[in-house]
Amino acid sequence: MKTKNKFRKIAGFLVVLTLMAFSFSCKKMYDNIKPYAEETVYPQRYDTIAAKIGYERVEIDLIKAGRIPSSQIRMGKSKKTIVEYDNQKITIDSLVSWLNIKGLKQSKLYRFKVYTIDEFENKSVPQQIAVIPFTESDVKNLVIASPRIMTSPNAMVIDWTSSLSSILLTYKSLSFEYKDKTGKVITGTRGTSPRIFAANLNPGSTVAMKLSYNVIPKVGGQEIVDSITYTQTLDITLPTGETTFNPTERDILVANGVTTFNANVAAGIKKLTFPIHTNSLQDLFYFSNVTELDLTGGELFNVKTLDYNRNSVVKTIGGGKFQPFIRHVSTISNANAQAMLDLLDLGIIKKIKYIPNSLGIDELLKRYDSKNIVEWVTPPDESLIPMNFFLDGKIQDNNWATDIVNPATDAPAGTAIVNPMKITLKAASASFVFTLPKEYRFNIANYKYLKFKVYAPDKSKFTGSYSAFQKLWPRFMNYMWAFSSESAFGQEYWELDRNATPIPDSDLTKWKDVTIDLSSAKDKHNRVIVINIGGEPGGTFSPPADITYYFANFRFSK
C-alpha cells in the first residue's frame, strides 16, 4: 500500500515537471516571434518605372510586360494605384500598366512616386522617377530654318533650301494663311517639301504670311511623344513694278528681247523661248502674263560650241540648229521647273512646245495632257549627224591618227550616200570622233540605234598582221581622256567587243550597213562616239599599202 502511494507521488511529480517544461518551452517559442509582431506585410509593387516626355505631360510605364489592360494584371492583394508628386495625390481604382499625367505646365523637375495599396490601404514599396516635361516655355526656344523668299510685284514664292528637321525637332507638315489683294483669305497645307506660291497680290504691299508648323520636338536628340504647332508670321514687302530683278538665265531672256529686268517690262511678255541647254525655268516667276513657252530653242537659239586645239588639230564643234538627237546633258530639277508648274496650275500658260526627253521634264508635263497644253514634237525616225560634230581622232592621241578627206569627192558610188568621208589609217589605233558640246548628251530615249554605211578596201589590204584592221570598234563615253574637264558626271564609258563588228570578205569593196544598239547608254551622259578601225591591235603600223575606208550616212535611228 505504501509502495503504491509512493508511486502515485512520483507520477504526480513527473506530471508537474512535464507541465512546467511544456510551459517553459512555449514561452521560449513566443519569445522567437515576438520581434515580428509589429511588422507590416506589403502589397506587391510595380516591377519597373520608365517615363516618356510629352507636351505638358508625361507617360509612365510600370510593367515590364508592356501596356496591357487592367483586367490582365495580377499583383496579389494590390487593388489600387497611387501617384504622388508636388503635393498632388492621384488615386486610380485599379491596377494599370502605364500612366498619362497631364497638366505639367512648368518646365521643372517633377518627382513621381507610384505605389499600390490593398483593401486595407497597406502600401507597396514605391517606384520613383524624376522627369522634366516639354512645356510652352520650351516651344519659345525652338528654332525653325528660315525660308527662301522670292518676290515680284504681284506674287511670292516661299520655300526651304534645307531640311526643316533638325536636332531640335522633326518636321511633319505646315499650313499657311494670307490675304490676296481682294482681301480673300487664302489657306493651304504643305507636306515634306514645303513650297508656297502666293499670287494676286498688290505691288508694294506688305503681306502677312502666317505659317503653322506641325513638328515633334526633341529632348536630348529624342522625339517627345507629342507633336505641337509652332506658329510664326512673316511680314513680306513686295516690290513695285519698277523694282529690278536679277534673272537666272539672263542671256536667254536677252535673246527673247528682254533687256530691262523689272516687273513692268515682264508683264508685257506673252511668249518666251528657251533652248535645250537651259538650266532653269525659274525666271518664269517674274513673267506673270506669259501664255506660251517654246522649249525647243525655236528660231532664236543655236547649239552651243566647243573649241578644240591639241596635237595640231584645231576645230570648233557644235553650232547650228538643234538636232533631234541632242538633249540637255542633265535633267532640269523639279525645283528649277517649279515656276513653270505654278503658271500652269494657275491656268496662265496655255501652250508649251517640247521635244520629248530633251530637258528631262516629261513626267512633269504629262500632268497637263488632259488640258491639251503641251505640243509634243514628234522627232523624225532618223536624224543625220552633221559634220559640225565631226572631229579628227588625233586630237586625243597621235596614235589615233588618220588622213581625212571630208567630204570625200571620190567616194564609191552607192544608193543614197550622204556626207561621205574618206579615212586613211595612219596609226595602229586609227580613230575618228563625233562629239557634242559639254552642255548636251545623245537623246537615246528617242533614238535607240546608231547607223552608218562603211566601204572597206579589198582583201589585199588586210594581209598578215593587218588582217586585224578588217573590223570596226565603236566606243562611247562622256569625254575623251585628254579632256576630262568637259563632263561634270565622271566617265560613263562603254564599248562593244573589239571583234563584234567585223567586215566579212563578202562585204569588202561595197557599201555595208552597220547598226549599233545604244540601249545601254539611255541613262548615261554619253556625248562622244569614237569609231576605231582595227580594235587597237598594237605593234608597228607600216602597211605595204594604204588602208582606206569610206564612211557615210552616220545617223541616229529609232
Task: State residue 26's pLDDT score.
Answer: 44
> What is the residue-averaged pLDDT of the chain?
93
- Is it true that the peptide bond before 420 is cis, omega within 30 degrees of 0? no
CATH code for the structural domain at 383-557: 2.60.120
Q: DSSP string of 474-524?
A: EEEESS-GGGGGG-SS----EE--TTSEE--GGGTTSEEEEEEE-GGGTTS
Residue 20 has pLDDT above 80, yes or no: no
Mean pLDDT of 340-346: 94
pLDDT tens-place string over residues 300-323: 999 999 999 999 999 999 999 999
Confidence of residue 40 (pLDDT cuts 50, 70, 90): low
Within the chain, all domains assigned CATH 2.60.40.10 are found at 50-134, 142-237
Mean pLDDT of 251-266: 96
Mean pLDDT of 195-224: 96
Residue 39 has pLDDT above 80, yes or no: no
Residue 24 has pLDDT above 80, yes or no: no
Amino acid at 317: I
Residue 277 has pLDDT above 60, yes or no: yes
pLDDT tens-place string over residues 426-446: 999 999 999 999 999 999 999
Q: Which residues have a Cβ under 8 Å from the Cβ of 332 and sit 6 or more positions away?
A: 278, 279, 280, 281, 359, 360, 361
Distances (CA, A) of 113 to 45, 61, 122, 539: 12, 13, 15, 90
pLDDT tens-place string over residues 283-293: 999 998 999 99
Task: State residue 12's pLDDT score.
Answer: 47
Maximum separation of any 2 CA atoms in the chain, in Å: 170
Confidence of residue 1 (pLDDT cuts 50, 70, 90): very low
What topology is assigned to 50-134 in CATH? Answer: Immunoglobulin-like (2.60.40)
Within the chain, all domains assigned CATH 2.60.120 are found at 383-557
> By three-state DSSP, how is residue 86 classified?
coil
Amino acid at 61: D
Query: CB neighbours (10 Å) of residue 286?
Result: 25
Residue 27 has pLDDT above 70, yes or no: no
Lowest-confidence pick of 15-29, 158-172, 191-205, 457-471: 15-29
Query: CB neighbours (10 Å) of residue 168?
Result: 15
Confidence of residue 4 (pLDDT cuts 50, 70, 90): very low
| Grid-cell match 501617384, residue found | 83
pLDDT tens-place string over residues 222-243: 999 999 999 999 999 999 999 9
The two beta strands, 382-384 and 374-376, are unpaired
Domain made up of 142-237: CATH architecture: Sandwich (2.60)
Residue 332 has pLDDT above 80, yes or no: yes
Q: Which percentage of the chain shows pLDDT scores above 70?
A: 93
Mean pLDDT of 43-48: 95
Residue 99 has pLDDT above 70, yes or no: yes
pLDDT tens-place string over residues 48-88: 999 999 999 999 999 999 999 999 999 999 999 999 999 99
What CA–CA distance (Å, rounded) separates 22 from 32? 16
Task: State residue 288's pLDDT score.
Answer: 86
